[in-house]
Amino acid sequence: MKYTYDKENESLKLELIEEIDMNSCKALRSIIDGYIIKYNPKECILDLNKVSFMDSSGLGLIMGRHSLIKMLNAKLTLVGPNESIKKIIKLSHIGKEIRII
Amino acid sequence: MKYTYDKENESLKLELIEEIDMNSCKALRSIIDGYIIKYNPKECILDLNKVSFMDSSGLGLIMGRHSLIKMLNAKLTLVGPNESIKKIIKLSHIGKEIRII
Amino acid sequence: MENNIKIEIDNKLCNVSVVRVAITSLISQKDVPLDEITEIKTAISEAVTNCIEHAYEEENQKVVISAKLSTIDDMDFLLINIEDFGIGIEDVDLATTPGYTTKPELEHAGMGFTIMETFMDEITIDSKMGSGTKIKLMKKLRTRKVSNI
Amino acid sequence: MENNIKIEIDNKLCNVSVVRVAITSLISQKDVPLDEITEIKTAISEAVTNCIEHAYEEENQKVVISAKLSTIDDMDFLLINIEDFGIGIEDVDLATTPGYTTKPELEHAGMGFTIMETFMDEITIDSKMGSGTKIKLMKKLRTRKVSNI
Ligand SMILES: Nc1ncnc2c1ncn2[C@@H]1O[C@H](COP(=O)(O)OP(=O)(O)O)[C@@H](O)[C@H]1O
Ligand SMILES: Nc1ncnc2c1ncn2[C@@H]1O[C@H](COP(=O)(O)OP(=O)(O)O)[C@@H](O)[C@H]1O
């Protein structure tokens, strides 16, 4: 996973790739949390531009990170979800709580 | 199928793409023969650079075009087969009769 | 005209993507728009993942997916059955409530059925406690027709 | 450790690529070199195409492919059975002769069995006139092992 930490803005950007399903989620979860805990950023940006497929397990992944990030008084931003992923996110309540660009 | 006809050398180049199996062969065969019959070239070049997969049906396709081209007193050249395709061609007797670049 | 495919997998999460690529390859025989393919893949992914995550306690159990692509009067339909032989669903109404999940600790979003309903035209759930669950999904494909002009 | 997948297809040539992608997806669970994946795909393509081209006269007949990926003592093996319930092969020795084909008019190269033998480690042909043909293919995978250094 590519990551960029912007010191000035205290923002951490993580670039997810390929398919997010229940199988890949388990590994993704601990890697993402590892970065968040290491940098304790004010903002965490999940870049979904390269994610071609995501099902509801990805929703669970995002919701879980959202909870963690809220506890750390930071905010979560999603960048570049494709149309089907956008639809899925909007189906759930986090669609209203998270900034999507 | 992309094709280029070089008038000066009377050579016809056909660029095959993607997967060559028994399913795609049936259409490929008549298109290739259509070009050959239209241009009646001295040399026919089959460009395999973009072919990621070919099984023995492709071998049948090449053998069939080889016979047609021989009858027309022209020659057949294969360009850019990947390693597995090269292996397949070499297994058959046309491996010795056709120029492979 | 119809075309049938049946896939039987072991209940391992790594096999969900095998099912996805196979069904994608099947649908690609028709000229279906990419976003529709993605949505169908997502619905199937939900149903198969559910069988693996919820139906069984043990390994080496089976999930069976059968797909039928059929053309009736110039319209293309995709019918998919996803079946397990596991514990079954006690309360289907509750299970299909958006956000309801029995595995929140594993970060399940509880949105599987909601996504299947949203992305497919029809869903039927047939479940018996102790003997398994069968999900039927149906979608009329937005096949691009070759115009004759 | 093992993983099993079974695919049942209608005898249509367009389904051969469905089988290829599914088996490729299965093998990709192991870190197998691309050229080896291509060779396995080719061998399977030959066997499945044969069932569709030679076994049946009628449509709506079945071809069954089952694949087992198994790890024994750190070695990975792929076992694939391809089975039809068609006419069977009269003379297996003749059929496996390089260049022999009963369909030269359809530009069959007669190299299917030769390619299966070349690209796999083992092939077994089990055919009975009137009841069908079962091909077993085996390959030890050149899996890249994660080094511990
Ligand atoms: N095949 C199944 N076998 C048994 N229980 C199931 C099955 N599919 C779904 N369920 C039950 O229905 C609930 C809701 O399913 P779903 O909407 O897909 O959400 P999730 O999978 O995220 O929990 C699951 O938490 C589970 O309790
Ligand atoms: N599944 C099958 N059922 C019946 N006959 C078969 C089957 N597979 C192969 N054969 C016979 O064996 C011959 C040789 O097969 P093969 O080496 O694959 O060459 P090809 O398919 O190009 O003819 C075929 O032409 C056919 O007569």
- Supply the ipTM of this predicted assembly: 0.91
Confidence of residue C38 (pLDDT cuts 50, 70, 90): very high
Residue C148 lies in a domain: no
Q: Where are the alpha helices (DSSP H) in A1-101?
A: 22-39, 56-71, 83-91, 94-97
pLDDT of C146: 58
Confidence of residue C144 (pLDDT cuts 50, 70, 90): confident
Say which amino acid occupies D104.
P
Q: What's the CA-to-centroid distance between C38 and ligand 2, angstroms?
A: 37
Angstrom CA distances, C107 to C55, C94, C102, stand at: 17, 18, 10
Pocket of ligand 2 (CB under 6 A): B 56; D 46, 50-51, 54-55, 84, 86-87, 89, 95, 100-103, 108-113, 133
Among C2, C16, C19, C21, which would you mutate to test the D interface (most chain D Cβ atoms within 10 Å of its Cβ)?
C21
Please report the residues numbered 84 through 143 in chain D whose beta carbons come closer than 8 angstroms to any beta carbon of chain B: 98-99, 106-112, 114-115, 118-119
pLDDT of D145: 65
Ligand nearest to the CA of C52: 1
Quick one: average pLDDT of C44-68? 98
Strand order in the sheet with A43-54: A2-6, A11-20, A43-54, A75-79, A99-100
pLDDT of C145: 66
Q: State the Cα–Cα distance between residues C104 and B37, nearest whole angstrom.
A: 67
Distance from CA of B95 to the nearest CA of D (A): 13
Range of the domain at C10: 2-141
Helix (H) or strand (E) holding A4: strand A2-6
Q: Is the pLDDT of residue C14 over 60?
A: yes
Distance from CA of D41 to the nearest CA of C (A): 14
* Cross-strand bridge partners of residue C78: C69, C139
pLDDT of D70: 96
Angstrom CA distances, B89 to B55, B58, C103, D14, stand at: 10, 9, 54, 24
> In this complex, which chains have at least 3 CB pairs below 8 Å with chain B?
D
- Are D66 and D40 a contacting pair, CB within 8 Å? no
Predicted TM-score (pTM) of the model is: 0.92
pLDDT of B85: 96
Q: Is the pLDDT of residue B96 over 90?
A: no
Q: Which residues of C touch A92 (CB under 8 A)?
A: 98-99, 109, 111
Angstrom CA distances, A51 to A17, A46, A78, stand at: 5, 11, 12
Angstrom CA distances, B32 to A31, B27, B52, D104, stand at: 52, 9, 19, 19
pLDDT of A93: 86
Report chain B's mean pLDDT, rounded to a whole number: 95
Q: Which residues of D touch B32 (CB under 8 A)?
A: none
Structure tokens that stand for C130 in this block: 């102790």
Please report the residues numbered 36 through 95 in chain B whose beta carbons come closer than 8 angstroms to any beta carbon of chain D: 52-57, 59-61, 63-64, 82-84, 87-88, 91-93
Q: Which residues of C touch A91 (CB under 8 A)?
A: 98, 111, 114-115, 118
Q: Is the pLDDT of residue A71 over 80?
A: yes
Pocket of ligand 1 (CB under 6 A): A 56; C 46, 50-51, 54-55, 84, 86-87, 89, 95, 100-103, 108-113, 133
pLDDT of A96: 86
Residue D75 lies in a domain: yes
Q: Where are the alpha helices (DSSP H) in chain C?
A: 16-27, 34-50, 92-95, 112-119
pLDDT of C1: 87
Quick one: average pLDDT of C103-118? 95
What whole-number percentage of chain B has pLDDT above 90?
89
Residue D23 lies in a domain: yes
Residue C149 lies in a domain: no
pLDDT of B81: 96
- Are C62 and C121 a contacting pair, CB within 8 Å? no
3-class state of residue D101 by DSSP: coil
Query: Strand B43-54 vs strand B75-79: parallel, antiparallel, or unpaired?
Result: parallel
3-class state of residue C108 by DSSP: coil
Q: Which residues of A touch C39 (CB under 8 A)?
A: 84, 87
Q: State the Cα–Cα distance between residues A58 and A79, nearest whole angstrom.
A: 14
Quick one: average pLDDT of C72-88? 96
Quick one: average pLDDT of B49-74? 96
Distance from CA of B32 to the nearest CA of D (A): 14
Query: Which member of C2, C10, C22 has the closest CB to residue D21?
Result: C22
For residue D55, give the ligand 2 atom closest to its CA: 3
Q: Does D6 contact C5 at a Cβ distance shorter than 8 Å?
A: no
Q: Show the domains of chain A with their CATH numbers.
A: 2-100 (3.30.750.24)
CATH number at residue C103: 3.30.565.10
What whole-number percentage of chain C has pLDDT above 70?
97
Q: Which residues of B touch D14 (CB under 8 A)?
A: 23
Strand order in the sheet with D62-72: C122-128, C132-140, C75-84, C62-72, C2-10, D2-10, D62-72, D75-84, D132-140, D122-128
Q: State the Cα–Cα distance between residues C52 and C86, nearest whole angstrom.
A: 9
pLDDT of A18: 83
Confidence of residue C143 (pLDDT cuts 50, 70, 90): confident
Residue D25 lies in a domain: yes
- Are B49 and B19 a contacting pair, CB within 8 Å? no
- Are A35 and A50 a contacting pair, CB within 8 Å? no
Residue D147 lies in a domain: no
Binding-site residues on chain D for chain C (CB distance < 8 A): 2-10, 12, 14-15, 17-18, 21-22, 24-26, 29
Q: Does A59 contact C118 at a Cβ distance shorter than 8 Å?
A: no
Quick one: average pLDDT of B12-39? 95
Q: Which residues of A touch C45 (CB under 8 A)?
A: 21, 53, 55
What whole-number percentage of chain C has pLDDT above 90?
93
Residue ranges of chain D with per-residue pLDDT less than 70: 145-149
DSSP codes, B16-72: EEEEESHHHHHHHHHHHHHHHHHH--SEEEEEEEEEEEE-HHHHHHHHHHHHHHHHT
Instruction: Give nearest CA residue, ligand 1 atom 18.
Output: C112
Q: State the Cα–Cα distance between residues C139 and C80, nearest whole angstrom.
A: 9
Residue D148 lies in a domain: no
Question: Looking at residue D29, what DSSP letter applies?
Answer: T
> In this complex, which chains have at least 3 CB pairs below 8 Å with chain C?
A, D
Quick one: average pLDDT of B27-48? 96
Q: State the Cα–Cα distance between residues B28 and D6, nearest whole angstrom.
A: 31
Confidence of residue C148 (pLDDT cuts 50, 70, 90): very low
Q: What is the number of domains present in chain D?
A: 1
Residue D146 lies in a domain: no
pLDDT of C119: 97
Angstrom CA distances, B43 to B10, B46, B65, B66, stand at: 7, 10, 12, 11
Angstrom CA distances, C51 to B75, C44, C148, D4, stand at: 58, 11, 44, 16
Other Cβ atoms less than 10 A from the Cβ of A92: the count is 22
